[in-house]
Chains A and B, each alone.
Chain A
Amino acid sequence: MATEAPSSLQRNQVDLMEFIDWSGVECLNQNSSHSLPNALKQGYREDEGLHLESDADEQLLIYIPFNQVVKIHSIVIIGPEEEGPKTVKLFANREHMGFSNVNDFPPSDVAVLSEDNLKGKPVILKYVKFQNVRSLTIFIEENQSGSEISKVQKIALFGSTVETTDMKGLKKIEDH
Chain B
Amino acid sequence: MRNGDYSPTRFDAQKDAVSLISGAKTQANPENTVGVLTMAGKGVRVLVTPTSDLGKILACAHGMEVGGEMNLAAGIQVAQLALKHRQNKKQQQRIIVFVGSPVTYDKKVLELIGRKLKKNSVALDIVNFGEEDEEKTEKLEALLAAVNNNDSSHIVHVPPGPSALSDVLISTPIFTGDGEGASGYVAAAAGGGLGFEFGVDPNLDPELALALRVSMEEERARQEAAAKKAAEEAATGEKGEQSTSQDVTMAENVNPGTSEPEKKTHDLTDDENALLQQALAMSMDDSSSTVAVRDTDMLDASADDHDLQLALQLSVQDSQGDQSNPNDVNKIFPDQSYMSSVLAQLPGVDPNDPAIKDLLASMQNQPENKEENKEPKEKEKK
**What count of chain B residues pass the 8 Å CB interface test?**
10
The CA-CA distance from A28 to B118 in the complex, in Å, is: 9
Chain A residues, CB < 8 A from B84: 98, 100
Mark contacts of B102-131 with chain A using CB atoms, 8 A cut-off: 1 yes-contact digit, 0 otherwise.
000000000000011011110000000000
The CA-CA distance from A61 to B216 in the complex, in Å, is: 54
Residue A95 is within 8 A (CB to CB) of chain B in the complex:
yes
Chain A residues, CB < 8 A from B121: 28-29
**Given A28-B121, A32-B150, A98-B84, A56:B115 Cβ within 8 A:** yes
Residue A96 is within 8 A (CB to CB) of chain B in the complex:
yes
> Which one, B115, B118, B120, B149, contacts A98 given CB within 8 A?
B120
The CA-CA distance from A57 to B120 in the complex, in Å, is: 11
Residue B89 is within 8 A (CB to CB) of chain A in the complex:
yes
Residue A81 is within 8 A (CB to CB) of chain B in the complex:
no
Mark contacts of A18-60 with chain B using CB atoms, 8 A cut-off: 1 yes-contact digit, 0 otherwise.
0000000000110010000000000000000000000111010
Chain B residues, CB < 8 A from A55: 118-119, 149
Chain A residues, CB < 8 A from B115: 56-57
Chain B residues, CB < 8 A from A96: 89
Distance in Å: Cβ of A81 to nearest Cβ of chain B: 25
> Which one, B89, B119, B120, B149, contacts A32 given CB within 8 A?
B149
The CA-CA distance from A59 to B120 in the complex, in Å, is: 11
The CA-CA distance from A29 to B120 in the complex, in Å, is: 7
**What count of chain A residues pass the 8 Å CB interface test?**
12
Asked if B150 and A56 make an inter-chain contact with CB atoms under 8 angstroms apart, the answer reads: no
Asked if A56 and B118 make an inter-chain contact with CB atoms under 8 angstroms apart, the answer reads: yes
Mark contacts of A93-115 with chain B using CB atoms, 8 A cut-off: 1 yes-contact digit, 0 otherwise.
00110111000000000000000
Distance in Å: Cβ of B50 to nearest Cβ of chain A: 16
Count CB-based A-B contacts (< 8 Å). 27
Name the residue of chain A whose CB is nearest to the CB of B86.
A96
Interface residues of A in 134-167 (CB under 8 A from B): none
Chain B residues, CB < 8 A from A57: 115, 119
Chain A residues, CB < 8 A from B89: 95-96
Name the residue of chain B whose CB is nearest to the CB of A59.
B119
The CA-CA distance from A56 to B113 in the complex, in Å, is: 12
Chain B residues, CB < 8 A from A29: 118-121
Mark contacts of B357-375 with chain A using CB atoms, 8 A cut-off: 1 yes-contact digit, 0 otherwise.
0000000000000000000
The CA-CA distance from A96 to B93 in the complex, in Å, is: 13
The CA-CA distance from A55 to B148 in the complex, in Å, is: 11
Distance in Å: Cβ of B147 to nearest Cβ of chain A: 9
The CA-CA distance from A146 to B318 in the complex, in Å, is: 89
Centre residue among A56, A57, A96, A100 by max chain B CB count within 10 A:
A56
Distance in Å: Cβ of A142 to nearest Cβ of chain B: 15
Centre residue among B89, B119, B149, B150 by max chain A CB count within 10 A:
B119
The CA-CA distance from A57 to B115 in the complex, in Å, is: 9
Chain B residues, CB < 8 A from A95: 89
Task: List residues of A whose CB falls within 8 A of some B CB.
Answer: 28-29, 32, 55-57, 59, 95-96, 98-100
Q: A28-B119, A56-B116 are in contact. List 13 more A-B contacts (CB 8 A).
A: A29-B119, A29-B121, A32-B149, A55-B149, A56-B115, A56-B118, A57-B115, A57-B119, A95-B89, A98-B84, A98-B120, A99-B119, A100-B84
27 A-B residue pairs with Cβ-Cβ distance under 8 Å, sorted by A, are: A28-B119, A28-B120, A28-B121, A29-B118, A29-B119, A29-B120, A29-B121, A32-B149, A32-B150, A55-B118, A55-B119, A55-B149, A56-B115, A56-B116, A56-B118, A56-B119, A57-B115, A57-B119, A59-B119, A95-B89, A96-B89, A98-B84, A98-B120, A99-B119, A99-B120, A100-B84, A100-B120
Task: List residues of B whose CB falls within 8 A of some A CB.
Answer: 84, 89, 115-116, 118-121, 149-150
Q: Which 8 A-B pairs have the closest CB atoms?
A: A56-B119, A29-B119, A96-B89, A56-B115, A56-B118, A32-B150, A98-B120, A28-B121
